[in-house]
A and B are shown apart, each in its own frame.
Chain A
Amino acid sequence: MLIINCPYCGPRDQSEFSNGGEAHVKRPDGSKEIGDREWGEYVFIRANPKGLFYERWVHTHGCRKWFNCVRDTSTDEILVTYKLDEKKPNLNNFKSVVKTPSGEPEVGSGNFTVEK
């Protein structure tokens, strides 16, 4: 189980939080014309990288605040959490080496190498 550092409450157990998917996905401005593709991508398409990922969480059983984080999806390590109005951190600030338990490559699944 992860420990997640709520920017408002501090480090708490994962069971208090809910995951909200990819962060920094901007909802298209409803007052303007929105194209099918733009809207479709907002509603249905999310990134699913192996490695560093901007992600939203909400402290459901706590302060009920939404916040963002950078999580390494290959190790589940949460590298930083920050408030919604804070600037998103540059991913280059983190070691982006995918260090999965079995040392898998960056692309592909399981323990076998897939060519890029």
Chain B
Amino acid sequence: MKSINLKENQFIQFHQKISFKFDGVKYFGYKGDTIASALLRNNVNLVGRSFKYHRPRGIYTCGIEEPNALVQIISEYSEPNTRATIKKIYEGMEIESQNRWPSLENDFGSINNLFSPIFTAGFYYKTFMGPHKKFWKNLYEPLIRRAAGLGKPPKDFKGISNHIHHNVDITIIGGGLNGLLAAKSFINSNYDVLLIDFEEQLGGIINNSNKISSIDNKEPKDWLKETIQEIEDSKNIKILKNTLVTTYNYINHLIAIEDRFVGSKPIEGKVNSTLHKIRTGHTILCNGHIERFLSFQNNDLPGIMLSSSFEKYMCRYGLAPSKEPVIFSNNSNSNSLVYSLIKAGLKPKAYIDSRSGEEIEPNLFDLIRKNDVPLYTNSQIKGAFGNKKIEKILVEDSSGALNEIKCDCLCLSGGINSDVHLFTQSKGLLDWDEKDLTYKPSKPFQPTITLGSASGQFNFDNLNSDINEKLKTFKVKKLDVKLELNTNAKYNIEKLWEVSPQKKSLWAKSFIDLQNDVTTKDIRQAITEGFDRIEHLKRYTTNSMGTDQGKISSINALGIVSDLLDKKVNEVGTTIYRPPYAPLSFSAIAGRNCYEFYDPERKSPIHNWHLKNGAIFEDVGQWKRPWYFQINKDESMHDAVQRESKNVRENAGILDGSTLGKIEIKGEDALEFMNLIYTNSFTKMKQGSARYALMLGEDGMVKDDGIICKISDQHFIATTTTGGAATVLGCMEEYAQTEWPNLKVFMNSITEQYATFNISGPKTREIMKKAFPNINFSNEEFPFMTFQFHEFNGVPIRILRASFTGELGYEIYIPSNSAPKIWDNIQSVGKEFGLAPYGTEAMHLLRAEKGYIIVGQDTDGSITPIDLGLSWMIGKSKKDFLGKRSLTRSDTIREDRKQLVGIIPSNKTDKLEEGQHIILDKEIKSPVPMLGHITSCYYSPTLGHDFALAVIKNGHSMIGTKAYASTSSMGTTGVDIVKPVFYDEGNKRLVS
């Protein structure tokens, strides 16, 4: 295909040269060129290899509907699958073709084309199934992935995208003739209007074709300039250019993506795209139409192009991709290409129309006759042929004779479709138009208005009345625009979907989906095999499942299927177009919520100290918590945890417990409220005392636990688990508002306002005395489960005597800002007593030795307090609390419930594993009745062997018996079932 430059225009200036590289070769284009127009200018017609058969492919269209010309932009983090027909070139741009190896000209994968008779619909489903499941994962899939597919994933990609929200009355999508006229109606009205166009210049069909000769007696381009100026001057209209609406959600919620670097290289660290999230009262769809192609043998050869795309290259880019293209059409839409060619001093090599001479528009006839263009009416192209490019075509004329025509370019038009993607996304219903052979919008589901060809108006006759009628509700000024056309034709089309090949051959291919390499034969085969529902057929053949969603071909597939099934197209139905309209990059969707901002990290006020002192962190919800502390780089986790645990038992340890949820509850009825929320009774509890408490769901299952401090009957402070803080507060608020609105009570999270230090171990009292010399820590003055308020160096602190390790312990609550200083102080006075920090893992080990549960680890939402052996925590005299009635449900009182027990290996040197099953038999013979499983398991430095907590059926009555635990090596270990407490059962250490 040899292209020629036509005249300059406002979009392309021939003195502004730009150099770029395609597959390593340097080429020149002009400012304003897309990759496609620049390649065509350089007579580069082969731009990629196809998905499955690796067939040579060229540029098929001039816009977003492009199925073939997808390229990898090396100079932009190697961004794959970029449509060459949209992406503008810039100086130094580097582009590579996709899906070929070693090179585009000599592609090894094209051998697939040779084997193509076996790669038919359902090939993968049928073939790569045996002999073993593993074959798919390990052999077939990697092989297929290398051979098939689109581009390679981008490299080192860190795109930046902003999100902008809009709230407007009216959004007009598409700035073509109808979009501009609609916007013009709203100039200086009281409506907030957003006008969105995908291109850099507004104007649509006025820029892209020679269809219109004058508007209001002006040159179309002059009218355009004036109108855009008027719209821009209007204060109530905002224009978004280079912005594609990709998604039309419920309640007029639109998503649009704006490219911020059109025609220039994105600058690293700058926002390269903006995602617009738009709420609008009404949406006016003026997004026009898309031309479709036709199926015949080798309709994918480079050099074949849609006819309106050819015309767009002429009008927009000052470029005729070929000097003498052949035109093949079944409708009147391609008339204007003939007009444009002749106006530019060129002429078609031949004009082939499947319609009869009577149906062809008289003025087209005149034009063709006057210019001696060879005309074939009632004729069809049987096939196109050539090596990596079109060289000749075979035409069957009205007499049935075959004519061979040599050509380097073929322009196709199979008719036009309203671009209904957004309309169907909005859940609007379509109707099949038997005359225009396309689906058109009929019933909107939302406040959606369609105008122009987007609404199925393929002629301009009713331009004014249609807009005036549809915009009537807005009471805006009526339009009266005078339009003159160059090709004065009413849209006319004859049914033609596919031309069968001249010779039957296994290798003859007529494509129905260029991007996914689906042929019309695949459609036939799928129907023969019973996939005759359109949604099944689509998935079985992958027709229209590419990134282009079959924009130029999906209606053709429906036509072919309806003929095969001998049904009307509206009986076949249509597949649903899904958002996004065109691929949307994940980085745009993520916006700024990525990398360090993806999920906020919450850090305790002591975090920096942990960093400096060898802490290895664990994620607990959003919190970063020290898991364990390494005294040197070589210390293993096991060694660190054993050391930390031992030190707590022998000396003293300090844990940063700041992440624990803290909720303050206040109000006249706080006591009653707390009695209703937790299982425990707080009525008789003394002021200044604390209590371990459980919270249940209404189903009776344990949901959270914590320590409740009673300051007075009107004031409580509750702690929650680290992960449960938000849920517990939410639950309290819900019941306070919905079930007991009569109770005067308020609650607030104070988690981040206070840091918490948990100090425990036999030497803790000495350390506390030294750290807080003014406080009396004697057992009489400060007994177990009491708390006191103090002031320390001007900082108000609260100290609670409680323990999660089984040792003497205190929890200190300090306003977060003052916490690091006090932490440092405790560290320095604790040194002589062997105080060392410990992490969550040692804490878990120590609490398990005492049989203290962790909600979410030892419970899983199906465990009641009774199952845990915690019946003593239930305030039985209370009339009501969350989940109370459920504790006497038939399910919660049955005998064989899973209950918490302790497990130790019968042979003390044996190992136990978390998550393993407890079973009765030594031998594993399936089916194995499973009693339950190990929920927590550690090696205890104090006991000198493994121990575990488990929930097993009827566990409480099995205490004292023997059983087996399964192992990860498919064996069993003999175990003793014991009480779930392994250390200081009498709590002597705790209370003395």
Residues of A that sit less than 8 Å from B by CB:
1-3, 20, 27-31, 34, 36, 39-40, 42-44, 56, 58, 60, 64-66, 76-77, 84-85, 101-103
- Tell me, in angstroms, the Cα distance from A20 to B251 when the chains sit together: 21
Stretch at the interface among B170-178, B733-741, B915-923: B733-741
- Tell me, in angstroms, the Cα distance from A114 to B429 when the chains sit together: 22
Do B250 and A76 touch (CB < 8 A)?
Answer: yes
Residues of chain A lying within 8 A (CB to CB) of residue B21: none
CB-CB nearest in chain B for A3 = B251
B902 smallest CB distance to A (angstroms): 32
Extra A-B contacts (8), CB below 8 Å, given A1-B249, A30-B884, A43-B886: A27-B739, A30-B879, A44-B699, A64-B733, A65-B737, A84-B738, A101-B427, A101-B445
Residues of chain B lying within 8 A (CB to CB) of residue A58: 730, 733-734
Do A28 and B885 touch (CB < 8 A)?
Answer: yes
A98 smallest CB distance to B (angstroms): 13
Closest 7 CB pairs of A and B: A30-B880, A101-B427, A31-B879, A66-B737, A39-B885, A43-B698, A27-B739
Do B889 and A40 touch (CB < 8 A)?
Answer: yes
A-contact 0/1 string along B576-611, CB 8 Å cutoff: 000000000000000000000000000000000000
Do A85 and B251 touch (CB < 8 A)?
Answer: no
- Tell me, in angstroms, the Cα distance from A42 to B881 when the chains sit together: 15
* Interface residue? B399 (CB, 8 A): no
| Contact sample, A vs B, 20 pairs, CB 8 Å cutoff | A1-B251, A1-B253, A27-B698, A28-B885, A30-B880, A30-B884, A36-B890, A40-B889, A42-B698, A43-B698, A56-B738, A58-B730, A58-B733, A58-B734, A64-B733, A65-B737, A66-B737, A84-B738, A101-B429, A102-B429
- Tell me, in angstroms, the Cα distance from A57 to B699 when the chains sit together: 21
Residues of chain B lying within 8 A (CB to CB) of residue A84: 737-738, 741
Residues of chain A lying within 8 A (CB to CB) of residue B429: 101-103
B443 smallest CB distance to A (angstroms): 9
Do A85 and B885 touch (CB < 8 A)?
Answer: no
Do B889 and A36 touch (CB < 8 A)?
Answer: yes
A52 smallest CB distance to B (angstroms): 17
CB-CB nearest in chain B for A60 = B730
Do A3 and B734 touch (CB < 8 A)?
Answer: no
Residues of chain B lying within 8 A (CB to CB) of residue A42: 698
Residues of chain A lying within 8 A (CB to CB) of residue B738: 56, 66, 84
CB-CB nearest in chain B for A34 = B885
- Tell me, in angstroms, the Cα distance from A85 to B741 when the chains sit together: 9
The answer to whether residues A31 and B250 also contact, given A40-B889, A42-B698, A43-B886 and a CB cut-off of 8 A, is no
Q: Interface SS of chain A: helix, strand, loop or mixed?
A: loop
* Interface residue? B279 (CB, 8 A): yes
B: contact size bracket:
20 to 34
Residues of chain B lying within 8 A (CB to CB) of residue A64: 733
- Tell me, in angstroms, the Cα distance from A77 to B445 when the chains sit together: 12
CB-CB nearest in chain B for A99 = B445
Within 8 A of A (CB), among B730-771: 730, 733-734, 737-739, 741
Q: Total number of A-B contacts with CB less than 8 angstroms?
A: 54
A78 smallest CB distance to B (angstroms): 9
Do B734 and A20 touch (CB < 8 A)?
Answer: yes
- Tell me, in angstroms, the Cα distance from A93 to B730 when the chains sit together: 33
B562 smallest CB distance to A (angstroms): 19
The answer to whether residues A1 and B250 also contact, given A39-B886, A101-B445 and a CB cut-off of 8 A, is yes
B953 smallest CB distance to A (angstroms): 23
B431 smallest CB distance to A (angstroms): 13
A-contact 0/1 string along B60-73, CB 8 Å cutoff: 00000000000000
A16 smallest CB distance to B (angstroms): 13
- Tell me, in angstroms, the Cα distance from A2 to B251 when the chains sit together: 6
- Tell me, in angstroms, the Cα distance from A39 to B885 when the chains sit together: 7
Within 8 A of A (CB), among B245-277: 249-251, 253
Residues of chain A lying within 8 A (CB to CB) of residue B741: 84-85
CB-CB nearest in chain A for B676 = A30
CB-CB nearest in chain A for B726 = A60
Within 8 A of A (CB), among B870-912: 879-881, 884-886, 889-890
- Tell me, in angstroms, the Cα distance from A64 to B729 when the chains sit together: 11
Residues of chain B lying within 8 A (CB to CB) of residue A34: 885
Do B885 and A2 touch (CB < 8 A)?
Answer: no
Residues of chain A lying within 8 A (CB to CB) of residue B889: 36, 39-40
Residues of chain B lying within 8 A (CB to CB) of residue A103: 429
- Tell me, in angstroms, the Cα distance from A58 to B699 when the chains sit together: 22
- Tell me, in angstroms, the Cα distance from A55 to B77 when the chains sit together: 48
- Tell me, in angstroms, the Cα distance from A106 to B730 when the chains sit together: 35
- Tell me, in angstroms, the Cα distance from A101 to B279 when the chains sit together: 20
Do A2 and B250 touch (CB < 8 A)?
Answer: yes
Residues of chain A lying within 8 A (CB to CB) of residue B249: 1
- Tell me, in angstroms, the Cα distance from A31 to B885 when the chains sit together: 11
Do A3 and B279 touch (CB < 8 A)?
Answer: yes
Do A43 and B699 touch (CB < 8 A)?
Answer: yes
Partner of A31, one of B253, B445, B734, B880: B880
- Tell me, in angstroms, the Cα distance from A62 to B341 when the chains sit together: 62
Do A30 and B737 touch (CB < 8 A)?
Answer: no
Within 8 A of A (CB), among B851-887: 879-881, 884-886
Partner of A30, one of B253, B699, B885: B885
- Tell me, in angstroms, the Cα distance from A40 to B734 when the chains sit together: 20
B560 smallest CB distance to A (angstroms): 23
- Tell me, in angstroms, the Cα distance from A60 to B733 when the chains sit together: 11
Residue among B733, B738, B880, B886 facing the most chain A CB atoms (10 A cut-off): B738
A68 smallest CB distance to B (angstroms): 10
Residue among B249, B881, B885, B886 facing the most chain A CB atoms (10 A cut-off): B885
- Tell me, in angstroms, the Cα distance from A101 to B430 when the chains sit together: 11
- Tell me, in angstroms, the Cα distance from A3 to B252 when the chains sit together: 10
Residues of chain A lying within 8 A (CB to CB) of residue B734: 20, 58, 66
Within 8 A of A (CB), among B906-953: none
B2 smallest CB distance to A (angstroms): 50
A62 smallest CB distance to B (angstroms): 13
A106 smallest CB distance to B (angstroms): 17
CB-CB nearest in chain B for A26 = B739
Residues of chain B lying within 8 A (CB to CB) of residue A31: 879-880
Residues of chain B lying within 8 A (CB to CB) of residue A43: 698-699, 886
CB-CB nearest in chain A for B729 = A64
Residue among B250, B279, B730, B733 facing the most chain A CB atoms (10 A cut-off): B250
- Tell me, in angstroms, the Cα distance from A2 to B249 when the chains sit together: 9
CB-CB nearest in chain B for A18 = B730
CB-CB nearest in chain B for A27 = B739
Residues of chain B lying within 8 A (CB to CB) of residue A3: 251, 279
- Tell me, in angstroms, the Cα distance from A101 to B733 when the chains sit together: 37
- Tell me, in angstroms, the Cα distance from A64 to B733 when the chains sit together: 8
B441 smallest CB distance to A (angstroms): 14
Residues of chain A lying within 8 A (CB to CB) of residue B427: 101
CB-CB nearest in chain A for B738 = A66
- Tell me, in angstroms, the Cα distance from A29 to B885 when the chains sit together: 10
Residues of chain A lying within 8 A (CB to CB) of residue B881: 30
- Tell me, in angstroms, the Cα distance from A85 to B742 when the chains sit together: 11
Residues of chain B lying within 8 A (CB to CB) of residue A20: 734
Residues of chain B lying within 8 A (CB to CB) of residue A36: 889-890
- Tell me, in angstroms, the Cα distance from A66 to B738 when the chains sit together: 7
- Tell me, in angstroms, the Cα distance from A60 to B727 when the chains sit together: 11
Residues of chain B lying within 8 A (CB to CB) of residue A39: 885-886, 889
A97 smallest CB distance to B (angstroms): 13
B127 smallest CB distance to A (angstroms): 32
Residue among B251, B698, B737, B889 facing the most chain A CB atoms (10 A cut-off): B251
B935 smallest CB distance to A (angstroms): 25
- Tell me, in angstroms, the Cα distance from A30 to B885 when the chains sit together: 8
- Tell me, in angstroms, the Cα distance from A56 to B279 when the chains sit together: 24
Residues of chain B lying within 8 A (CB to CB) of residue A101: 427, 429, 445
A31 smallest CB distance to B (angstroms): 5
- Tell me, in angstroms, the Cα distance from A78 to B881 when the chains sit together: 33
- Tell me, in angstroms, the Cα distance from A101 to B423 when the chains sit together: 12
- Tell me, in angstroms, the Cα distance from A65 to B734 when the chains sit together: 8
- Tell me, in angstroms, the Cα distance from A34 to B730 when the chains sit together: 26
- Tell me, in angstroms, the Cα distance from A91 to B665 when the chains sit together: 38
CB-CB nearest in chain A for B735 = A27
